[in-house]
Chains A and B, each alone.
Chain A
Amino acid sequence: GQSLEQPSEVTAVEGAIVQINCTYQTSGFYGLSWYQQHDGGAPTFLSYNALDGLEETGRFSSFLSRSDSYGYLLLQELQMKDSASYFCASDNYGQNFVFGPGTRLSVLP
């Protein structure tokens, strides 16, 4: 089977830094993606890690450790508009990808 785990909720204040963790157990693992979804909207791509280490894109960074089956998304300089759900997704055999249950981030003023 395939499973991913994430915290269900995270709360932080504007300007802070927050880390959302993801652990996975999947077969044929190729890489880990992160997606953002605002209420009522479609998921949008944030990052993809195929190799161990940190990938940085503006205020967002993503990390992968294949040996630990673990990754995280780091959001810096939080803004109100970052309030959304964040999903990790495992890329399996380069063919399908399975989502975690999602982490709801609330950014407080």
Chain B
Amino acid sequence: RKEVEQDPGPFNVPEGATVAFNCTYSNSASQSFFWYRQDCRKEPKLLMSVYSSGNEDGRFTAQLNRASQYISLLIRDSKLSDSATYLCVVNNGAENSGYALNFGKGTSLLVTP
């Protein structure tokens, strides 16, 4: 299975800071890209899908560079509640793949007061 690579961190930032996470994927045929958030001992939860044109959801901005096989997530004005592990996730999207998700190991973020 092709890999998804992330900097494991941890990233320790003060409240209000801007923080960026990066991710690379090795399968050039990948079609769908996501950022999930995982709190300690909890299930992954979809944060946002990532589109080639870039997309924004409130304080979160995701970018995709297909040529470089690179995905990013920017969090502005970070809150204490943003503390979690952020998972870069890639899906091949092919009918016969069963839509299996391929997860990175995650980047840990700790936002401090």
Same complex = no
- Using a CB–CB cutoff of 8 Å, the interface residues on chain A facing chain B are none
- Using a CB–CB cutoff of 8 Å, the interface residues on chain B facing chain A are none
